[in-house]
Chain A
Amino acid sequence: MPRWGMVIDLDKCTACQACTVACKVENNEPIAGPDGSRRGRDIVWMQLLSVVEGEYPKLRARFIPRPCMHCDQPPCVQVCPVGATYKRPDGLVAQDYDRCIGCRYCMVACPYGARAFNWGTPQFQATAYLNPDRITSRNGGREGPAVRSAGVVEKCTFCAHRLERARARAKAEAREVQDGDYVTACAQTCTGGAIRFGDLDDPKSEVHHLSRDKRAFRLLEELGTHPRVIYLAEG
């Protein structure tokens, strides 16, 4: 089974935030509005972190796109009291909107801040396109792009609905799903080609090679969460 993972080359990232927008559209992420945004209620699965280092005039800005790390030891899964967030057999960390009770323990436990909460009923622009793709969780609840209700937690799924379709295509061709069969919306849209997605275990895959690069690092590796998102440091 492929070990889906992402490599983000920070040298290639232009901080254009096309990934953020593509992700918002692909996954029906609601908008918080100017007031909600000011109050810290944005729902952004793929967020661009910006850090300004140094002092004028020797300033350096760093930009780090941050999806869910889909940790192999996910702290959020550990603390969820009802099993609404769980590790799928293929290793993706999923979130069941019908199981979640909204205690937000996972948000408190996630060191990456990758989780968002529906503080109120999700709002969309009147003309917004809503992705009709649906997937179900292991409990039969709604997952992925399905429009959420107020009071539940949501997060990046590595576009698991795309994986579902890729799997169906592969099945029609009577083979297992493999590297290159699907990429996430952020990887597809990335203007600088900084975000690469694929099977980390496949020795022929691009992400496998990139993940062994000497610039490769993972965020907060020291916490022992074993993230599946690998960054390539600015060189």
Chain B
Amino acid sequence: MDSVAARALEREHPDLVPLIRTGWGYYGTVAGLLALIVLGGYTYIRQWIEGLAITGMNVPVSWGLYIVNFVFFVGLSAGGILVAALAHAVGVERLKPIGRVAELGAISCLILAAIFVFLDLGRPDRWYHLLLYARFQSPLIWDFAIVAIYLAIAMALGYFSTRADLVRCMEALPRRRALYRLLCLGYVDVSPPALARDRRTLKVLAVASIPAAVLLHSITAWLFGLLKAHPGWHSALLAPLFIVSASVSGLAMVIVALVVARRFLRVAVQDDVIHDLGRVLVLAIPVLGYFLFAEMLTVLYAGEPAPLSVFQEMMFGRYAPIFWFNLMLGLLLPILLLWRPPRWAVATVGIPAVLLLSLVPYQLQLAIPTPLGRFFPYVLGIFLPAWMEYTLIGLLTIVLPLLLLAGPRLRTVDRIGCAAGLVVLGVLAERANIVLPPLLKTLLPYPAGSYTPTTPELLIVLGAYSIGGLAFVLLAKLFPLVEAHPAAEG
């Protein structure tokens, strides 16, 4: 674009400038993502030819990372609906501008979820059997149907909240005119009555999306929760737990997307909006913690051998690092980061608190295994008593990050972004712990199962992630991710 036109654009539509002005960092990111997609695609072709043998899945762990990621991305898609429901159905005006990012996130997450199910199929060439021979007794078919419905709603929400801006882009960027007209599906009427109609449609869609979202996450939980074959899944709490963790992770994902868009894609996101979302997040995380606690207490107190063995594996066994990561770095640290206690308080209260908590199992003489000794037997573990290990871990994972991140150097928005990112990773860990440890345990006396993802499997997962990342950065160049004129002058 020549400089005269560019200057005109800067004057009239400052929010559209990032669409045409692109730095080297952006091209680098796109190239990197493309490379990962090609690598993942190549590995997937290998999987297509050689079969799932190239993954780490086996009997009894016949579902692995693919299904974990499917569940994870279905959960992340909740963010779109949450923000849309708040903005359009409840009418929180402040959230309306970011509704679009949330919707785009939801759409990409659902597409990624569908991709992960496809990756998991042993006979992907027969995927159409799911349409031709669908059996409605199978929760997988319920899931298939609700993902399709929800995707349609999310796409409609995205369309109606973006249409007005697309028309504006059509006029401001004449070179891409045909593309924008196509994205508008030819409906380019931006007269006030048409926009009012859009708003009404958005409201109806946002209201309709709420029961759809509840169903979506419940059904995804029921994929596991309705089965009695493995201990640890057959719980009525699983569906509500999925709704809560989906909402928490979805909200966190929206925050991460906003912070990334603001920092790296120079999208004008209001600080207030991110602060607001951070406030909602800090209220939502304890709810998730409560659900996890209720589920754990029920199993641990009853002490039935089979579910107990699953929880032992999860808390103190091979899945312990994932479990404690989820609890400490995925729930506790983000709360503290969002809340931001002053540094002196962290130092004076945090360090003694960690010390005291570490001494509790020691005092109660609980036989809790020592993590460092277990996982790094020749480094530190054998020299340190258990309570010192707990202290060390507590200081390193909670107190030190707080002292580093809660300082005045880091901008509030970035701090919220960090916390949200940790929450997203924590929920990924939680998903792994919901899917994998129960699969290890069988009701009949089979030899103990194990599961280690292989490199090809990880490459395929990474490739799929990159598809989502690429979609995000490309869409950021297609239209403004954030509405410039909130609520379309409503």
A81 touches B134 (CB 8 A): yes
A80 touches B135 (CB 8 A): yes
A49 touches B444 (CB 8 A): yes
B121 touches A103 (CB 8 A): yes
- Which residues on A sit within 8 Å (CB–CB) of B60? 40, 107, 113
Q: Which of A51, A78, A80, A117 contacts B59 (CB 8 A)?
A: A117
A151 touches B59 (CB 8 A): no
Q: Which of A101, A105, A109, A120 contacts B123 (CB 8 A)?
A: A101
B445 touches A51 (CB 8 A): yes
Which residues in chain B, 300-338, are within 8 Å of chain A measured between CB atoms?
none
Query: At the interface, yes or no: B178 with Cβ under 8 Å from chain A?
Result: no
- Which residues on A sit within 8 Å (CB–CB) of B127? 101
Q: Which of B117, B228, B446 contacts A113 (CB 8 A)?
A: B446
- Which residues on B sit within 8 Å (CB–CB) of A117? 52, 59, 62, 122
- Which residues on A sit within 8 Å (CB–CB) of B439? 108
Map CB proximity to A onto B118-132 as digits: 1 under 8 Å, 0 otherwise. Answer: 001111001101101
A66 to B449 Cα, complex, angstroms: 18
A84 to B121 Cα, complex, angstroms: 14
A117 to B58 Cα, complex, angstroms: 8
A81 touches B227 (CB 8 A): no
- Which residues on A sit within 8 Å (CB–CB) of B140? 79, 81, 103, 105
Q: Which of B53, B120, B135, B230 contacts A83 (CB 8 A)?
A: B135
Which B residue's beta carbon lies closest to that of A38? Answer: B58
Query: At the interface, yes or no: B141 with Cβ under 8 Å from chain A?
Result: yes
Q: A40-B58, A101-B129, A108-B62 are in contact. Are A121 and B229 (CB under 8 A)?
A: no
- Which residues on A sit within 8 Å (CB–CB) of B120? 103-104
Smallest distance from the beta carbon of A86 to chain B beta carbons, Å?
A: 9
B122 touches A82 (CB 8 A): no
Query: At the interface, yes or no: B465 with Cβ under 8 Å from chain A?
Result: no
B51 touches A41 (CB 8 A): no
Q: Which of B56, B129, B138 contacts A105 (CB 8 A)?
A: B138
A101 touches B126 (CB 8 A): yes
Smallest distance from the beta carbon of B152 to chain A beta carbons, Å?
A: 20
Q: A66-B444, A80-B135 are in contact. Are A116 and B59 (CB under 8 A)?
A: yes
Q: A102-B121, A103-B120, A220-B444 are in contact. Are A79 and B227 (CB under 8 A)?
A: yes
A219 touches B444 (CB 8 A): yes
A108 touches B138 (CB 8 A): no
Map CB proximity to A onto B53-95 as digits: 1 under 8 Å, 0 otherwise. Answer: 1001111111100000000000000000000000000000000
Which B residue's beta carbon lies closest to that of A53? Answer: B445
Query: At the interface, yes or no: B137 with Cβ under 8 Å from chain A?
Result: yes
A152 to B129 Cα, complex, angstroms: 13
Which residues in chain A, 66-118, are within 8 Å of chain B measured between CB atoms?
66, 75, 78-84, 99-105, 107-113, 116-118
A51 to B443 Cα, complex, angstroms: 13
A219 to B446 Cα, complex, angstroms: 13
A119 touches B51 (CB 8 A): yes
Number of A-B contacts (CB under 8 A): 140
A119 touches B53 (CB 8 A): yes
A50 to B141 Cα, complex, angstroms: 37
- Which residues on A sit within 8 Å (CB–CB) of B57? 119
B129 touches A82 (CB 8 A): yes
Query: At the interface, yes or no: A136 with Cβ under 8 Å from chain B?
Result: no
Query: At the interface, yes or no: A39 with Cβ under 8 Å from chain B?
Result: yes
Q: A42-B59, A49-B444, A117-B62 are in contact. Are A79 and B51 (CB under 8 A)?
A: no
A82 touches B443 (CB 8 A): no
- Which residues on A sit within 8 Å (CB–CB) of B450? 40
Which B residue's beta carbon lies closest to that of A122? Answer: B51
Smallest distance from the beta carbon of B27 to chain A beta carbons, Å?
A: 39
- Which residues on B sit within 8 Å (CB–CB) of A84? 129, 133
Q: Which of B123, B137, B223 contacts A151 (CB 8 A)?
A: B123
Q: A82-B129, A118-B51, A119-B57 are in contact. Are A40 and B449 (CB under 8 A)?
A: yes
B122 touches A101 (CB 8 A): yes
Smallest distance from the beta carbon of A47 to chain B beta carbons, Å?
A: 9
- Which residues on B sit within 8 Å (CB–CB) of A220? 443-444
Smallest distance from the beta carbon of A31 to chain B beta carbons, Å?
A: 13
Q: A81-B141, A108-B229 are in contact. Are A100 and B123 (CB under 8 A)?
A: yes
A151 to B137 Cα, complex, angstroms: 23
Q: A108-B230, A113-B442, A150-B122 are in contact. Are A119 and B52 (CB under 8 A)?
A: yes
Smallest distance from the beta carbon of B350 to chain A beta carbons, Å?
A: 42
B229 touches A99 (CB 8 A): no
- Which residues on A sit within 8 Å (CB–CB) of B138? 78-81, 105
Query: At the interface, yes or no: A131 with Cβ under 8 Å from chain B?
Result: no
- Which residues on B sit within 8 Å (CB–CB) of A149? 123
10 A-B pairs (CB sep. < 8 Å): A49-B446, A51-B445, A64-B444, A75-B227, A79-B138, A79-B140, A102-B126, A103-B140, A111-B444, A113-B59
15 additional contacts, CB 8 Å, given A42-B59, A107-B59?
A64-B445, A81-B138, A81-B141, A101-B130, A103-B120, A107-B62, A108-B227, A108-B439, A111-B228, A113-B60, A117-B62, A120-B51, A120-B52, A121-B51, A150-B51
A residues adjacent to B (C-beta < 8 A):
36, 39-42, 49-51, 64, 66, 75, 78-84, 99-105, 107-113, 116-121, 149-153, 219-220, 223
B residues adjacent to A (C-beta < 8 A):
50-53, 56-63, 117, 120-123, 126-127, 129-130, 132-135, 137-141, 144, 223, 227-230, 439, 442-446, 449-450
What 5 pairs across the A-B complex have the smallest Cβ distances? A102-B122, A151-B122, A40-B58, A120-B53, A150-B51
